[in-house]
Structure 1
Amino acid sequence: MTFELHPKKRHQRLNDSLLRYLPAKVALPLTIIFALVPASLSFQNANLDAVESISKAESETPEIWADAPRFEIDEDDLKRHINFLASDSIEGREAGSPGGQAAAAYIVSELQKYGLEPGAASQDFYQEFGNGYRNILAVIPGAEPDQQQTTDTSREEEFIVIGSHYDHVGYGNSKNSLGPLGQIHNGADDNASGTAMLLELAQSIMNRKEKPTRSILFAFWDAEERGLVGSRHWVANPTCGLEQVKFYFNYDMVGRLKDEGLEVYGIRTAFGIQKQLVRNNHSPSLRLLYNWDNKGDSDHYPFYKKRIPYLMLHTGKHEDYHRPSDDAQLINYEGLVNLTQLSARLLWDESNRSAPSQFRQKSISESEFVRSGIQSRTGSFTERLGLTVIRPEGKEDLVEVRQVYQQSPASTAGLQTGDQILNFGNLPIDSVIFETLVLRVESPVAVTYVRPPSTERQKVMIRLSGNPQLLGVNLHFDSAEPGAATIIRVRPNSPAHFAQLENSDVIWSINGHWPEKREDFFKVLATIPRDQKQLSLVIEREGKLREINVNLWPDSDVLEN
């Protein structure tokens, strides 16, 4: 990752196993000193008869997880790659240096062993530029049209590009190191980890009998640490038409996965990326930290500037960033295996989807500042009745009015503090949370009450404010993720409250239906009978999908629990 403002290492000689990766003209090692908000909506279930039921196709229930094959990821291979690329013997892989060229030769030898095709001009793996710099390009061609089982003959000519820079900063200098200077900066995490991941992904996909329908270009960028020079050069001098590039994956510093989670960038640059990501995030599910900024600090940026959607996964900076202490023994290899599995599923999914991703123009004006603004908006709840109640001890068949709000439906109907409500429409007071009754009933509603010390029953019709609600939440609908709804507020003592739904939870599925757009979301709600007791949701919390069953008619016992 480009630079932002232990004991001294011995400068080892190249051993015999490393010498073979040096260019012929450098026989001996040299010592070098030197990254929209619509109005808040209530989860409503009103005017159900006016909404057509969902079609049979919409009602089919897919699995929670995306349908992707399992890829064999070898931890020993990842270790082997990183141990070589981050060894003292190649002296920090500085762009244009003998060590950098040795790293490039190693990468090409692995790609040749796996059977990938050269991706540069003249059937070469190298794209040379600048002061001895070399991008490394390799291709897995897309399946032939007859193998695709489709009439679309152009998909094999479309490319998914997956990239990682393989250079580092050598011995470091005052412009690219946090010190100490003059010592080998091995860059195990930055970015031997991303390079090792790409090699393992290439091998894993080549080992599959089934090939992707789109071609995959594996790009190992040089001179990233000098200002994204390698990826900028390729974008200016592409080896395929830029219009053929439908998506870009970037991996930079992916070797230090922590409990805090995995940073995710580019999530807004195409429609549906978040859904695609969370449905592939399993075995295990990683905590995902979305970031809406599109910074120019890694190789995704030249693609983003050309309006190509991208996704960048990043395990975060650390105290060894751009220091000599960024060594191989500090890599979280178990985390890297899990992250490589996730990346393989995402790459396969993107390579085989029926229609390519389209760049989302609104992402240009979105940022972390915009995201924080959305998260701070909670909206307000409509007070349908306008009073609060308590349930007197030992009296399960009534609730007592504790407070009546001014100018509320309850106040207009003449209810007062101390009144005891016996019946609320035709729904039982003694078994269901009163707040749920108020939330769910149609208006107007007949309310039967007594006013102590009198025992005379009185009945009044009350016209409630707002529409009936199913869960008791306010929602935000995101234009980048059609069909999903993010909870921005949970009403106390509502079905959502007792199901432990939380702000920022994303509702993806309702009773097995995965809406594709906002209109479908409400069509699904329209099919839910008023007397249904349970609702099954698939929600996302911090990037992890989970199934939650909501009791739509919570009883009074839940208050005690």
Structure 2
Amino acid sequence: MHSHVRAEVTLDPPAGSISWQVSLERMGNQFEFPLHSGLTPQLDSAGSLTLVSQSRKQGGGGLDPQRPVDQKIWRITIPDGLADNLPVTISARGVIREDLEQVGSGAGRSFSATPGTIEEQGVYLAGATCWLPHPAGTLVTFSLQVDLPAGWNAVSQGRRMNKEASADRTFVRWDCDVPQEEIFLVAARFHEYTKKTPLLEALVFLRDEDPNLAARYLEATMQYVDMYAHLIGPYPYSKFALVENFWESGYGMPSFTLLGPQVIRLPFILRSSYPHEVLHNWWGNSVYVDYPSGNWCEGLTAYLADHLMKEGEGRGAEYRRDVLKKFGSYVQDGLDFPLREFRSRHSGATEAVGYGKCLMLWHMIRQSVGEEAFKKGLQSFFAKFIHRRASFDDIVACIGEAAGTDLGDWARSWIEGTGAPEFRLAVEPGEEQSHIVIEQVQEQDPYRVRIPVHYQLTTSSWWLQQIVEFTPGADGTVPRQQSFEVAGSLAAVRVDPFFDVFRRLDRSETPPTIGDIFGASSQLLILPSLSPRLEAWRGLAESWATDGDVRIVLDTELEEIPQDRAVWILGEPTMGVANATLRKAVLQKGMLEKFSLSYATWKLPTMKPPYVEPFLTQFDYSGIQVARHPDDEDLTVGLIRCYKEAAIPGLARKLPHYGKYSYLLFEGEEPTNVAKGEWATDTSPLSWTAKGISVAQLEDAREPLIRPGPVLDADRMISDVRWLADPQLEGRENGSAGLERATQWVADRFEEIGLQAAAPDGSFFDSWSEDAQIGSETRTISLRNVIGMIPGTDASLAGQSVLVLAHVDHLGRGWPDVRAGNEGKIHPGADDNASGVAVMLETARIIVGTHRPARTLIFIATSAEEWQLRGARRYIESMEKWPASDSLAVISIDAVGRLSEGELLALGTGTATEWVHIARGIGFTTGVRSTAVKDDPGGSDQVPFHEIGIPGIQLTTGAHQDYHRPSDSADKIDSDGLVSVATWLREALMYLSERPDALTSTLGAGQQGDSDATQPQQGRRVMLGTVPDFTDTGPGVRIDDVVEGSPAEQAGLRAGDRLRAIDDEQISDLRGYAQLLRQLEPGAEVVVKIERDGKALSIRVKLVAR
């Protein structure tokens, strides 16, 4: 049952006032409604209006609960005899301005909120505001006509029916025919952006003009709505809008979300919080929560959004581990409660239960019933309960029905119980038969649970799986111990290695983390009495001491080490013996993990990829590290070092949100996080390996429930690769008709995409010719680069550009580089570099349609890359309008089609200090991980730009056995990998085009590189047959693979070997290795000195012609 409201609303934001007239459907002869105490109503239709009571209305336990507001309860009485279909008309006017206040408790768990306000900055009205009348306890549909000042705009649920603007006023009407729990109205001076399809209107309302930011959200909206429509059911509204709030918030309303100005500009939000807010339009804002029976919605939304996105990145197990870790950190004695009692998040413990435990419940159900039944159950639940209130039992019943099983008793044991199981593993190995025992060791009664056990036999490299079930026996009790026999000799056992079961983790499964301290029931914060920043540290401590048993003391007041609480040591210098003992424990743990803090430098653990330079001056950076308490390993001690007083308030605000990490490094006064990580963990008690046996890593190959549809078109890129690698183009050799056709085809694509011609003569082609010595013949080779651009919009950056290069040419039938035996054969060059051209075209196509760069983006399809990088050098020599020397950065895309076989490498990140941070940020923002390689062993089109001091990188998926061979064919290209590379490239270009400052080049203007490797080289004449590991930092060269039938394979070299010398010439790195090979002749016998498994070996090899 629902009512209908028709309202005409006038807003005066500077005065904080509102007036309205409302027409209500009759709901009997008498009904009551609450109204904000700042409003004075009058009844305009027949009947009487009576004040019943006045009270503080609690904001409720909905998706976004608010604090109480003063309200009055009014009763309308309608005389008998009036027609039932006559509406009730009410009008009111008054002021609504509730201040922003902190809501929630605990460090990092509070946030600013208001139940409703009308002010110059904006308007926020919700059900908790009690701003419009409708009968209490009913759902409502509505039509809302809003009268606003000129230049203002308004957003509500449903469909916008019209918007009219004049010099004095703006009129906006929103209609919602979907029954709602409350009516929202948000208004401000917005810049509006939109994108429409026949089924959806995507909208973005920003407080400042930013078309590029809007384009990202419009695109993401379309992606996520489509994804969830396929997973759950049709999107239940006609629009979805991102609305920028005037305070930091994260609200999810039906058909729109209200996010804070900083939040929406965080680069990772599009892959974290935003899908969560979109999904709430199915869960919570269409299928409503029956709050008295528990809030199932937040956990399910987190599972199908936050967890799903990490699962799609292959990091689902890591996400679940962090959920379990958070439960262990925050849910201490007295803070646990059943899921049935969860209403909303207001502390670390309520989040760990209501979001984390609930998320794991749905994951365990999914593992139990299987993917298809789980999906069908979700779809059935949505179809049955859309626009109705639903409970935990309802969704469990729908999934059970889809799976053909009764999940009720099992699910209720988790929904109505508290705590979590803890497990231990015992193994009795045997030659012919082995015995595996799993035991629940927690103090509480055993839980009903299914736990996966993976094991490997000594006779096989395959991992096998057994599901161990703890179910009630004939007496109705669940056993503490279960076991099973395995035929054969065991090599290894792993219990729940992917964290599929909700359980308390053993301490050895996770490192000490910052969250352990924030989640501890008792904490001590030690202030540095002699620090000139003492008062700033005191402010930080007091902001963290708002909830629970938290003591703050000076270091001089601490007489002994506290045995009963987690500890923060704040700043330095520090005094006192007890404090020094705690500090020493933290520092020693850091030293073991290669994290050290000294008065001169910070040093970070060796990481791959390295996040920052090894040494950084302390005065610009803040460092945080934790360790186990020296007297109680269940407690954690943390040390915070900061020499910038202005950064301390930022640390107070930010650190609670980094609970999963063991160490952090922040830069500047903001401060900005530049490094983070976890200490290594000890062997888990749920892991067993036979002595003297090495087993393969256990990999989780499971796919996510669903993935967002790609914005980039994999099929189109594969089609482009096939066209360029087609035998009709005969390998696109420089000077050939095939290359001429290919460059014409690229120019046609540039024009079709919408790039502007950018060659010096105003066309797409920059043509030239050069003489080449081919055998005994001198030929004049005609060449041309294809150049297109997207113009920059910032006049102050005119002349500057960001360059993207991908070479079109390849080796044809073997010139200028050919392996022995391949002379005259077509080299199709699918990976090298049809893949790079395809990625460049697709990236340009998407950016043209969505982005207006501040700085000009130039796309260059070069010729003659295979001929000593002559196409890139030509651009540097000939381009005058956008001089190469004024380029901000260069990205060369070369050989990016084999991601499934390797990894995405960014070579040459050492050419600017920012590259490594850019690569890491792109990983966070897009989910596409890359490995930053400081040196540049690639030698592609970026190298000539290094020579003139321009920072540049090469994107590549690495070397392989088909490099420069006829076997480099289109059928070996990874289409999903092309999407990942293009996604990375697009994000990089959008960042670089908007970046206001130049990159910090490490090259120097006119630098010629650090070796002859940056100059045109005579080709190598010999082949050893090794495929190098580009990510290895030396010393020497690590072998990633060996070419089949090569001298390396015949001599017994293998992957993992490290090349250290050839004869007596030491190999320093990949460049040095290449230089040594250039000096050798085919047929030469050399001694290759290697390291293998820590041992030095010398192997004689006879080289063959390349």
- TM-score w.r.t. structure 1 length? 0.53
Corresponding residue for residue 215 of structure 1:
856
**Is 1:174–1:181's contact at 8 Å kept on the other side of the alignment?**
no
Q: Secondary structure at the match of 1:320?
A: coil
Shift in alpha-carbon separation, 1:103–1:177, aligned structure 2, 3 A:
farther
**Is 1:166–1:221's contact at 8 Å kept on the other side of the alignment?**
yes
Shift in alpha-carbon separation, 1:331–1:316, aligned structure 2, 3 A:
same
Q: Note the C-alpha offset of 1:43.
A: 6.4
**Is 1:142–1:156's contact at 8 Å kept on the other side of the alignment?**
yes
Q: Secondary structure at the match of 1:122?
A: coil
Q: Note the C-alpha offset of 1:242.
A: 2.6
**Is 1:212–1:352's contact at 8 Å kept on the other side of the alignment?**
yes
State the Cα deviation string for residues 212-261 of structure 1 (Å, max 9, x = none). Answer: 10000101110111111111111122242233211000110000013542
Q: Note the C-alpha offset of 1:53.
A: 5.2
Corresponding residue for residue 505 of structure 2:
none
Distance 1:59 1:216 in 2: 40
**Is 1:246–1:358's contact at 8 Å kept on the other side of the alignment?**
no
Q: Find out whether 1:237 has 2:830 as its counterpart.
A: no
- Code of the aligned partner of 1:83: R
Q: Find out whether 1:103 has 2:742 as its counterpart.
A: yes
Q: Note the C-alpha offset of 1:262.
A: 1.9
Corresponding residue for residue 113 of structure 1:
752
Q: Note the C-alpha offset of 1:195.
A: 0.6
1:272-287 → structure 2 map (5 Å cutoff): 272-282=914-924, 285-287=927-929
Q: Find out whether 1:359 has 2:986 as its counterpart.
A: no
Alignment partner of 2:788 out of 118, 138, 147: 138
Corresponding residue for residue 129 of structure 1:
768
State the Cα deviation string for residues 122-149 of structure 1 (Å, max 9, x = none). Answer: 2111111122100111110011x4xxxx
Q: Note the C-alpha offset of 1:176.
A: 3.0
Alignment partner of 1:54 out of 639, 647, 651: 647
Distance 2:828 2:857 in 1: 29
- Code of the aligned partner of 1:133: L
Shift in alpha-carbon separation, 1:289–1:123, aligned structure 2, 3 A:
same
Q: Note the C-alpha offset of 1:51.
A: 6.3
**Is 2:710–2:979's contact at 8 Å kept on the other side of the alignment?**
no
Distance 1:333 1:252 in 2: 15
Corresponding residue for residue 181 of structure 1:
823
Distance 2:783 2:891 in 1: 22
Q: Note the C-alpha offset of 1:179.
A: 4.3
Q: Specify every segment of 5 or more residues in structure 1 that has no aligned partner in the other structure, as ranges.
A: 1-35, 146-152, 374-561
Q: Note the C-alpha offset of 1:92.
A: 0.5
**Is 2:624–2:639's contact at 8 Å kept on the other side of the alignment?**
no
**Is 2:942–2:954's contact at 8 Å kept on the other side of the alignment?**
yes
Q: Find out whether 1:78 has 2:720 as its counterpart.
A: no
State the Cα deviation string for residues 493-522 of structure 1 (Å, max 9, x = none). Answer: xxxxxxxxxxxxxxxxxxxxxxxxxxxxxx
1:316-465 → structure 2 map (5 Å cutoff): 316-361=958-1003, 371-372=1033-1034
State the Cα deviation string for residues 393-431 of structure 1 (Å, max 9, x = none). Answer: xxxxxxxxxxxxxxxxxxxxxxxxxxxxxxxxxxxxxxx
Alignment partner of 1:258 out of 890, 900, 904: 900
Distance 2:959 2:901 in 1: 14
Q: Note the C-alpha offset of 1:165.
A: 0.4
Distance 1:81 1:97 in 2: 19
Corresponding residue for residue 428 of structure 1:
none
Q: Secondary structure at the match of 1:247?
A: strand
Alignment partner of 1:226 out of 856, 859, 867: 867
- TM-score w.r.t. structure 2 length? 0.28
Alignment partner of 2:945 out of 303, 313, 321: 303
Q: Secondary structure at the match of 1:298?
A: coil
**Is 1:282–1:342's contact at 8 Å kept on the other side of the alignment?**
no
- Code of the aligned partner of 1:335: G
**Is 1:71–1:204's contact at 8 Å kept on the other side of the alignment?**
no
**Is 2:951–2:1003's contact at 8 Å kept on the other side of the alignment?**
no
**Is 2:922–2:928's contact at 8 Å kept on the other side of the alignment?**
no
Structure having the higher Rg: 2
Distance 2:974 2:640 in 1: 54
Shift in alpha-carbon separation, 1:58–1:365, aligned structure 2, 3 A:
farther
**Is 2:831–2:897's contact at 8 Å kept on the other side of the alignment?**
yes
Q: Specify every segment of 5 or more residues in structure 2 that has no aligned partner in the other structure, as ranges.
A: 1-612, 626-637, 659-671, 674-708, 770-780, 1014-1029, 1036-1106
Distance 1:119 1:285 in 2: 33
**Is 1:163–1:220's contact at 8 Å kept on the other side of the alignment?**
yes
Q: Secondary structure at the match of 2:911?
A: coil
Q: Secondary structure at the match of 2:785?
A: strand
Q: Secondary structure at the match of 1:137?
A: strand
Distance 1:54 1:251 in 2: 39
**Is 2:733–2:815's contact at 8 Å kept on the other side of the alignment?**
no
Moved more, 335-344 or 169-178: 169-178
Moved more, 232-241 or 326-335: 232-241
Q: Secondary structure at the match of 1:227?
A: coil
Shift in alpha-carbon separation, 1:75–1:40, aligned structure 2, 3 A:
same
Distance 1:71 1:141 in 2: 26
**Is 1:96–1:132's contact at 8 Å kept on the other side of the alignment?**
yes
Distance 1:50 1:74 in 2: 49
**Is 2:889–2:951's contact at 8 Å kept on the other side of the alignment?**
yes
1:474-485 → structure 2 map (5 Å cutoff): none
Using CA pairs under 8 Å that are at least 6 residues apart, name the structure with larger relative contact order, 1 or 2: 1
Moved more, 254-263 or 287-296: 287-296
Q: Note the C-alpha offset of 1:342.
A: 1.1
Distance 1:40 1:349 in 2: 27
**Is 2:836–2:896's contact at 8 Å kept on the other side of the alignment?**
yes
Shift in alpha-carbon separation, 1:47–1:121, aligned structure 2, 3 A:
closer
Shift in alpha-carbon separation, 1:282–1:326, aligned structure 2, 3 A:
farther
Greater strand content: 2
Distance 1:308 1:119 in 2: 20
Q: Secondary structure at the match of 1:225?
A: coil
Q: Note the C-alpha offset of 1:109.
A: 0.5
Q: Note the C-alpha offset of 1:361.
A: 3.8
Moved more, 246-255 or 296-305: 296-305
Q: Secondary structure at the match of 1:198?
A: helix
- Code of the aligned partner of 2:756: E
Q: Secondary structure at the match of 1:326?
A: coil
Shift in alpha-carbon separation, 1:275–1:134, aligned structure 2, 3 A:
same
Identity of aligned residues (%): 28
Alignment partner of 1:94 out of 733, 736, 742: 733
Q: Secondary structure at the match of 1:271?
A: coil
Distance 1:372 1:219 in 2: 33
Distance 1:293 1:188 in 2: 26
Distance 2:945 2:844 in 1: 21
Q: Note the C-alpha offset of 1:192.
A: 0.2
Q: Note the C-alpha offset of 1:158.
A: 1.3
